[in-house]
Amino acid sequence: MRDVAVIGVGCTKFGEHWERSFRDLFVEAGALALEDAKLAGEKIDAMYVGNMSAGRFIEQEHIGALIADYAGMASRHIPSTRVEAACASGGLAFRQAVIAVASGMEDIVVAAGVEKMTDVEPGASTDALTGAADREWEGFVGATFPGLYAMIATDYMHKYKMTREQLAHVAVKNHYNGARNPIAQFPTEITLDTVLKSTVVAEPLRLFDCSPITDGAAAVIVAPLERAKEFTDTPIKVLATAQASDSIALHDRRDISTLDATVAAGQRAFRMAKLTHKDIDMVEVHDCFSIAEICAIEDLGFCKKGTAGKFTADGETALGGKIPVNTSGGLKACGHPVGATGIKQVYEIVQQLRGEAGKRQVDGAKIGMTHNVGGTGATVAVHILGRV
Amino acid sequence: MTVARFWRKIPQRYNLVGTKCETCGRHFFPPRTFCPDCRRNGKIVDHKFAGFGTIVTYSVIQTEPDQFASPGPYVLAIIKLDEGPQMTSQIICDPKDVKIGMRVRSVFRRIATDGESGIIHYGTKFVPVE
Ligand SMILES: [Zn+2]
């Protein structure tokens, strides 16, 4: 297998883009990534696009061809493939691009992610997202996505005695980081009170425990490491790519508040990179709900099971803490255009490793990790990236 | 949802009919037609569950999607059936009373309505065991 490097990254601002279409968004992200890699579009050999549900959100399927076409690739007939794993679609698209280059099959490959979620009513987008769980045996009986994660939170708080206030620290920290990220949907700091007094969505989760509905797109370009210097002075090496699956329904898991797919993907990634959690300078985890970040940092090994609430409240996951988590603002503050999230995580880590993260820069960042979850943990993608 | 999509699962949804692997004795609800433990050596048969179980975890849903619209919040839970498997369902009780470890039994109830004139979906919910 060949070593693979990220040579260019681009991302739109995340938010409610009433004035812009699905096509506008991915064309912008792709153009930004090409410009960053100082690359002409004719050099692209293949594309992988993470997208969860264009069929439900904009009534458009066949996204691979659409994107290649509007990115100006139709006359070159390059292979372009849509990748779907609910909210982990972006992470899997990145992984497919890395595998294509590592295998020697392709040289210059785009991994993109896009979701346009605000063209339908909020009820319709919520229902589309429920398709990431088991429609027949969860969705049909009244399980919403916040409801499923709320059941994880109930189980977790019962077992480990985490307080409601400790959980609220996740959102406060992520908004602090988001306020320092120019692409964030909610670049505003909040207090514990903001979280604790917000509307209850599904007990014990409140509005400020939940990631928003977002439009956005992100793109990164990967190439063989040996060719990376042709395009950039600061190539970022892909040290590991890992993916794992688990039961589609939450009720079939071995343990409700452990994501075994996160554990498996994390262990595989560390083994592949020959690293441990101590080597990671910052991590982007999938905080679709505050409780998801609590589980993720434990299941990836950054702190012991049952201690993440205190760990977070003590500031260990904040900028300047032991392991900064979600410097981008995470899904909570940066936004969560589902198919784009996994690519945005790579975008953030690349910025950190290049030293270009501005006010949220982690000093001396050398190695970073991304963690992207589909559904309630039925698919997980983990990547480790490092400075060369 | 089409009528057929709901109708084809009526025995399971109305009567809590799942499956059982005769090779290893493991029970499945929701039903499976392939035993993950025995794989090709498994022998799957229908099995009617007794309908008793224990609450593993729960949430009180405050903002429900349209089709589940009901007067007030509802209790969503994962129930461990006495035969072994776990399932997701609603608990009919005062939301203040629901607890982890609470004993429940299944009842036949309306689950949801598809729109104003849509079909009404029935299925299994649970009530506390007195
Ligand atoms: Zn069996």
- pLDDT above 80: residue A206: yes
pLDDT in tens, A33-77: 999 999 999 999 999 999 999 999 999 999 999 999 999 999 999
Query: Do A252 and A381 fall into the same domain?
Result: yes
- Domain coordinates in residue numbering, chain B: 3-128
- pLDDT above 90: residue B122: no
pTM comes to 0.96
pLDDT in the model for residue B2 = 64
Which band of pLDDT confidence, cut at 50, 70 and 90, is reported for residue A122? confident
pLDDT, average across residues A372-381: 98
Q: Decide yes or no: CATH 2.40.50.840 for domain B3-128.
A: yes
- pLDDT above 90: residue B69: no
CA–centroid distance, B126 to ligand 1, in Å, is: 28
Query: Do A136 and A221 fall into the same domain?
Result: no
Last residue of a domain, one of A179, A201, A236: A236
Q: Does B64 touch chain A (CB under 8 A)?
A: yes
Residue span of the structural domain in which A344 resides: 128-210+239-387
Residue A208 has a CB neighbour count (10 Å cut-off) of 24
Average model confidence (pLDDT) across chain A: 97
pLDDT in the model for residue B12 = 79
Query: Do A187 and A322 fall into the same domain?
Result: yes
- pLDDT above 60: residue B116: no
Q: Which residues of A sit within 8 Å Cβ distance of B?
A: 123, 126-127, 130, 134, 136-138, 140-144, 146-147, 150-155, 158, 199-205, 249-252, 256
Q: Could you say which of A202, A250, A256 has the minimum Cβ distance to residue B61?
A: A202
- pLDDT above 70: residue B71: no
Query: Do A145 and A68 fall into the same domain?
Result: no
Which band of pLDDT confidence, cut at 50, 70 and 90, is reported for residue B93? very high
Q: What secondary structure does DSSP assign to chain B, as a single string?
A: --HHHHHTTHHHHHH-EEEEETTT--EESS--SS-TTTGGG--EEEEE---EEEEEEEEEESS--GGG--SS-EEEEEEEETTS-EEEEEE-S-TTT--TT-EEEEEEEEEEE-TTTSPEEEEEEEEE--
Which residues in chain A touch residue B77, judged by CB atoms under 8 angstroms apart?
151
Beta partners for residue B17, in sequence order: B48
Cβ(A335)–Cβ(A347) under 8 Å?
Answer: no
**Assigned token pair, B124:** 């299994």
| Nearest one of A355, A158, A380 to A288, comparing CA atoms | A380
CA–centroid distance, A252 to ligand 1, in Å, is: 16
Query: Do A66 and A199 fall into the same domain?
Result: no
Strands A109-115, A46-50: parallel, antiparallel or unpaired by DSSP? parallel
Q: Does B123 touch chain A (CB under 8 A)?
A: yes
Sign of the torsion angle spanned by Cα atoms A223, A229, A234, A239:
positive
How far, in whole angstroms, is CA A183 from its chain's centroid? 14
Q: Could you say which of B57, B86, B89 has the minimum Cβ distance to residue A252?
A: B86
pLDDT in tens, B10-43: 777 778 999 999 999 999 999 999 999 999 999 9
pLDDT in the model for residue B130 = 80
With H, G, I as helix, E, B as strand and everything else as coil, classify residue A85: strand
pLDDT in tens, A143-187: 999 999 999 999 999 999 999 999 999 999 999 999 999 999 999
| Nearest one of A87, A19, A30 to A289, comparing CA atoms | A87
Active-site annotation of A, residues: 87, 336
| ipTM (interface pTM) | 0.96
In angstroms, the separation between the Cα of residue B87 and the nearest Cα of chain A is: 6
**CA A318 to each of CA A313, A321, A325, A361, A385: distance values in angstroms, whole numbers, following the listed order:** 9, 5, 6, 12, 20
CB environment A162-180: b (16+ within 10 A), e (fewer): bebebbbbbbbbbbbbbbb
Give phi and psi for A235, each to the nearest 5: -65, 145
Query: Do A188 and A49 fall into the same domain?
Result: no
Query: Do A113 and A255 fall into the same domain?
Result: no
Q: How many domains does chain A have?
A: 2
Which residues in chain A touch residue B87, judged by CB atoms under 8 angstroms apart?
137, 251
Q: Does B88 touch chain A (CB under 8 A)?
A: yes
Q: Are B59 and A136 a contacting pair at CB < 8 A?
A: no
Residue where the block lists tokens 């501005």: A358
**Assigned token pair, A214:** 């977002």
- pLDDT above 80: residue B3: no
In which order are the strands placed within the sheet that holds A282-284? A80-83, A46-50, A109-115, A216-224, A4-11, A236-245, A379-387, A367-374, A282-284
pLDDT in tens, A124-135: 888 899 999 999
* A230: CATH: 3.40.47.10
**Assigned token pair, A12:** 């739109």
Contacts of A274 (CB under 8 A, 6+ apart): none
% of chain A with per-residue pLDDT over 70 = 100
In angstroms, the separation between the Cα of residue B119 and the nearest Cα of chain A is: 13
pLDDT in the model for residue A104 = 98
Query: Do A140 and A258 fall into the same domain?
Result: yes
pLDDT in the model for residue B5 = 72
